[in-house]
Amino acid sequence: GLPSDKVEMGRNCKIVTEVVQNGNDFTWTQHFPGGRTTTNTFTVGKEADMETMGGKKFKATVKMEDGKLVADFPNYRHISEICGGKLVETSTSSGVVYKRTSKKIA
């Protein structure tokens, strides 16, 4: 459902993601080119106010399943996990799968 220019921008975009974990509490910050930053703070198993990279606000409950953070929304599922020292994020929406792998820089 995204315009093709937004899809292409996302494909080529270098995003820096900071994940801070304190027990079941997480702060997830994404820094985008041009200075835009989105931060979501949540506790596993509790509903939280969230914001998409496009600025849309919503409520979600992030769960832990087999060591992966999983967030389900209507028509959208996001899974985050550490594999081989890398952050692997898989998003699925309307049958389309987007996978982003990030290397650790600090």
In a domain, residue 43? The reply is yes
* Amino acid at residue number 84: G
Number of domains in the chain: 1
What does the pLDDT look like over 83-103, one tens digit per residue?
Answer: 988 999 999 988 889 898 998
Nearest to 13 by CA among 40, 31, 39: 31
3-state secondary structure of 6: helix
Handedness of CA 96, 104, 27, 81 (dihedral sign): positive
The two three-digit tokens of residue 16, written as one number:
């820096």
Instruction: Give the model's confidence band at 1: pLDDT under 50 very low, under 70 low, under 90 confident, else very high.
Output: low
Supply the Cα-derived Rg of the chain in whole angstroms: 14
* pLDDT of 72 over the 90 cut: no
Q: Check which CATH number belongs to the domain holding 69 and give it.
A: 2.40.128.20
3-state secondary structure of 40: strand
What does the pLDDT look like over 43-56, one tens digit per residue?
Answer: 999 999 998 877 88
Nearest to 61 by CA among 100, 26, 97, 16: 26
In a domain, residue 44? The reply is yes
In a domain, residue 106? The reply is no
User: Which domain range does residue 44 map to?
Assistant: 4-101
In this prediction the pTM is: 0.80
